[in-house]
Amino acid sequence: MLKVEHIGVAVKDLGLSIPLFESLLNTGCYKKETVEGEKVNTAFFRAGETKVELLESLEPGGVIAKFIEKKGEGLHHIAFEVEDIVAEMARLKAAGFILLDEKPKKGADNKWVCFLHPKGTNGVLVELCQAMD
Query: What are the pLDDT digits (tens) for 45-95?
Result: 999 999 999 999 999 999 999 999 999 999 999 999 999 999 999 999 999
Model confidence, pTM: 0.93
The per-residue pLDDT for 128 is 98
In whole angstroms, give the CA distance from residue 68 to residue 90.
31
Q: What's 99's DSSP letter?
A: B
Question: Taking every pair of C-alpha atoms in the chain, what is the biggest distance, in angstroms?
Answer: 43
In the beta sheet, which residues pair with residue 32?
A: 43
Reduced to 3 states, what is the DSSP secondary structure of residue 2? coil
Query: What are the pLDDT digits (tens) for 6-47?
Result: 999 999 999 999 999 999 999 999 999 999 989 999 999 999
The per-residue pLDDT for 115 is 97
Reduced to 3 states, what is the DSSP secondary structure of residue 121? coil
The per-residue pLDDT for 133 is 81
Q: In 3D, which of 71, 21, 11 has the Cα closest to residue 51?
A: 21
Once rounded to an integer, what is the mean pLDDT over residues 94-107? 96
Mean pLDDT over each residue of the chain, to the nearest integer: 96
The per-residue pLDDT for 1 is 85
In whole angstroms, give the CA distance from residue 123 to residue 111.
24
